[in-house]
């Protein structure tokens, strides 16, 4: 969440910053008013609390001096004020809760270098690879769901039979390819990132810390009986690993990675890109995450982008890097770069990684701080994360890009060691392994 002190000290500046994200300025006015009322309620409660404390001391003094009547009168007044203080405490707690709720729904302030814009159409293409776009053959123009069905490596129908639409089922070489991609990526990042295998089901406060809750509850899978949530990304548990902790500055940047399934309802996707693997409810992903100081954050952000791009180069996939505008970044993000690969079979650019710097927004929600090496009060860390990579669409792009005239699929050489030395998915007429 944003710093409430910033709202108190520069309400107009906050309005301007969040106005870049399309936030109605009246929401900031409402927050300012709620905070003013909450602080006033706390002040009244604390004044009464001080009076009760003073009266309690006077009661003790009166009893010690033998003034029983005076002690009883003071005690009666103390109890009356105590009842008032308890009522004011309830009111102050409710007022503070209203402030927190309002803060939980407000997005982060965009970074100064985040481009202006209202939506995806205003995102800025920073660079593409390769510089000279490749040409694609007729064989590569078949969509991956048709290729997968023909070769027996993707079975959307049986996935739907088991779990409903938009739950893919990979078979044979298709399942092996998915596993190979995960192991390949984990190996590539092992030089700097500690591998974590977090739980897939997490508590409400874990989802709140990253910003998924409360605003996006409809997009998440909730197990009501246990009050647990299926993670939409490993970002959620990785962020909360240090929830409530104070880290030492010499531990930072702390880099973590995790390969997990991810679950998303995609509640707003009806009728839009729902064929094949373009938009699914469950997918596998390798997530890179870091806690950092504010000074370390820009370099960490750049490193995650560079690592994700390096994977795409090694996989031989045409891609572009987009700088997301203020109107299109996620609720928790201050700055985001998206990586999109070109899939010739569907003739679309597919987002395969979103790499974000969250400033101290998530750390405030999760109360994650660090102790400066030079001394001073603990400060909030900065958090960063990015997919490296999300596999469903990478799988689709590889299958479409690698398709040959005979219907076989040639896979990138970098994956061969993870595929028992094999690099070709046999064409029709050969059993997929």
The confidence score (pLDDT) of residue 269 equals 60
Least confident of 71-75, 101-105, 309-313: 71-75
Rounded to whole angstroms, how far apart are CA atoms 429 and 88? 78
Distance, in Å, from the CA atom of 260 to the CA atom of 210, rounded to the nearest integer, reads 17
Please give the structure tokens belonging to residue 51: 């009076």
Helix (H), strand (E) at residue 124: strand 124-129
- Domain check: are 51 and 136 in the same one? no
- Residues 416, 325 share a domain: yes
In a domain, 9, yes or no: yes
Q: State which of 57, 79, 105 marks the end of a domain.
A: 105
Among the listed residues 356, 377, 380, the one whose alpha carbon sits nearest the alpha carbon of residue 368: 380
Per-residue model confidence (pLDDT) at position 82:
83
**pLDDT of 79 over the 90 cut:** no
Burial class (CB in 10 A: 0-12, 13-18, 19+), 279: middle
CA nearest 288: which of 186, 411, 422, 184?
186
User: Residue 430 above 80 pLDDT?
Assistant: no
343 and 217 belong to one structural domain: yes
Domain total of the chain: 2
Determine the distance from the C-alpha atom of residue 337 to the mean position of all C-alpha atoms in its chain, rounded to a whole number.
14
In a domain, 111, yes or no: no
Of the listed ranges 224-228, 265-269, 270-274, 335-339, the least confidently predicted one is 270-274
Residue 253: pLDDT above 80? yes
Residue for token pair 């810390």: 209
**Domain check: are 382 and 334 in the same one?**
yes
Q: Write down the pLDDT at residue 433.
A: 46
Domain that holds residue 319: 120-425
- pLDDT given for residue 270 in this prediction: 59
354 and 417 together in one domain: yes
| Dihedral sign (CA 14, 213, 289, 325) | negative
Choose between 76 and 41: higher pLDDT. 41
Q: Give the DSSP H or E segment for 313.
A: helix 297-315
Both tokens assigned to 420: 């028992």
Helix (H, G, I), strand (E, B) or coil at 331: coil
The DSSP result for 149-168, as a single string, is HHHTSB-HHHHHHHH-TT--
In 10 A of CB 158, how many CB atoms? 13
Statement to judge: residues 262 and 402 lie in one domain: yes
Which band of pLDDT confidence, cut at 50, 70 and 90, is reported for residue 268? low
210 Cβ neighbours under 8 A, 6+ residues apart:
235, 236, 239, 240, 332, 362, 365, 366
Between CA 309 and CA 326 the distance in angstroms is 23
pLDDT band at 271 (very low <50, low <70, confident <90, very high): low
Please state which of the ranges 53-67, 252-266, 413-427 shows the lowest mean pLDDT: 53-67
Residue 385 lies in a domain: yes
Cβ-in-10-Å burial (0-12, 13-18, 19+) of 216 comes to middle
Whether 333 and 256 share a structural domain: yes
Specify the 3-state DSSP secondary structure of 390: strand
Q: Is residue 433 part of a domain?
A: no
Q: Does pLDDT of 432 surpass 50?
A: no
CATH number at 418 reads 3.30.930.10
pTM, rounded to two decimals: 0.92
Which one-letter DSSP state was computed for residue 116? Answer: P
Mean pLDDT of the chain: 95
Of 245-259, 265-279, 307-321, 354-368, the one with minimum mean pLDDT is 265-279
Q: Rounded to whole angstroms, how far apart are CA atoms 416 and 404?
A: 18
Q: Which of 82, 105, 128 represents a domain boundary (last residue)?
A: 105
Residues 165 and 241 reside in one and the same domain: yes
Q: Outline where 164-296 has alpha helix (H).
A: 173-189, 204-210, 235-240
C-alpha 267/C-alpha 218 separation (Å) is 7
Q: What is the pLDDT averaged over residues 227-240?
A: 98
70 and 186 together in one domain: no
Q: What is the pLDDT of residue 91?
A: 93
Q: What is the mean pLDDT of residues 159-170?
A: 97
Arithmetic mean of pLDDT, 259-269: 87
State whether 52 and 128 are in the same domain.
no
Closest of 378, 385, 387 to residue 332, by C-alpha: 385
Say whether both 236 and 93 belong to one domain.
no
Q: Report the CATH number that the domain containing residue 73 is assigned in CATH.
A: 1.10.287.40
Q: According to the model, what pLDDT value does residue 75 have?
A: 84
């Amino acid at each position: 969440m944003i710093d409430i002190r910033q709202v108190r000290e520069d309400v107009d500046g906050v309005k301007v910053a969040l106005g870049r994200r399309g936030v109605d300025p009246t929401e900031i006015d409402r927050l300012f008013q709620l905070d003013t009322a909450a602080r006033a309620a706390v002040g009244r409660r604390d004044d009464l609390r001080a009076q009760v404390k003073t009266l309690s001391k006077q009661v003790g003094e009166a009893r010690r001096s033998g003034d029983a009547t005076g002690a009883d009168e003071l005690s009666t007044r103390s109890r009356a004020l105590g009842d008032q203080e308890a009522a004011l405490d309830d009111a102050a707690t409710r007022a503070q809760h209203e402030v927190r709720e309002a803060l939980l729904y407000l997005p982060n302030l965009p970074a100064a270098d985040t481009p202006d814009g209202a939506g995806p159409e205003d995102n800025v293409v920073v660079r593409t690879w390769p510089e000279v776009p490749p040409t694609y053959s007729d064989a590569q123009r078949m969509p991956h769901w048709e290729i997968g069905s023909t070769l027996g490596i993707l079975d959307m129908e049986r996935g739907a039979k088991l779990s409903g639409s938009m739950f893919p089922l990979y078979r044979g070489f298709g399942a092996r390819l998915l596993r190979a991609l995960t192991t390949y990526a984990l190996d590539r990042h092992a030089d700097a990132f500690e591998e974590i295998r977090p739980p897939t089901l997490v508590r409400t406060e874990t989802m709140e810390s990253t910003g998924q809750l409360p605003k996006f509850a409809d997009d998440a899978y909730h197990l009501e009986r246990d009050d647990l949530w299926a993670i939409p990304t490993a970002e959620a548990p990785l962020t909360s690993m240090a929830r409530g902790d104070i880290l030492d500055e010499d531990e930072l940047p702390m880099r973590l990675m995790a390969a997990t399934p991810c679950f998303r309802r995609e509640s707003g996707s009806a009728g839009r890109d729902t064929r094949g693997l373009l938009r699914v409810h469950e997918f596998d992903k390798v997530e890179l995450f870091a806690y950092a100081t504010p000074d370390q954050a820009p370099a960490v952000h750049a490193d995650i982008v560079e690592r994700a791009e390096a994977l795409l180069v090694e996989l031989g996939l045409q891609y572009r890097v987009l700088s997301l505008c203020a109107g299109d970044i996620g609720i928790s993000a201050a700055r985001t770069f998206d990586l999109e690969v070109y899939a010739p079979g569907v003739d679309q650019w597919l987002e395969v990684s979103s790499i974000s710097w969250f400033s101290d927004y998530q750390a405030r929600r999760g109360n994650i701080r660090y102790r400066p090496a030079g001394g001073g009060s603990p400060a909030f860390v900065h958090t960063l994360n990015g997919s490296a990579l999300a596999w469903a669409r990478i799988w689709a792009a590889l299958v479409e890009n690698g398709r040959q005239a005979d219907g076989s699929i040639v896979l990138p050489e970098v994956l061969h060691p993870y595929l028992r030395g094999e690099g070709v998915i046999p064409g029709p007429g050969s059993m997929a392994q």
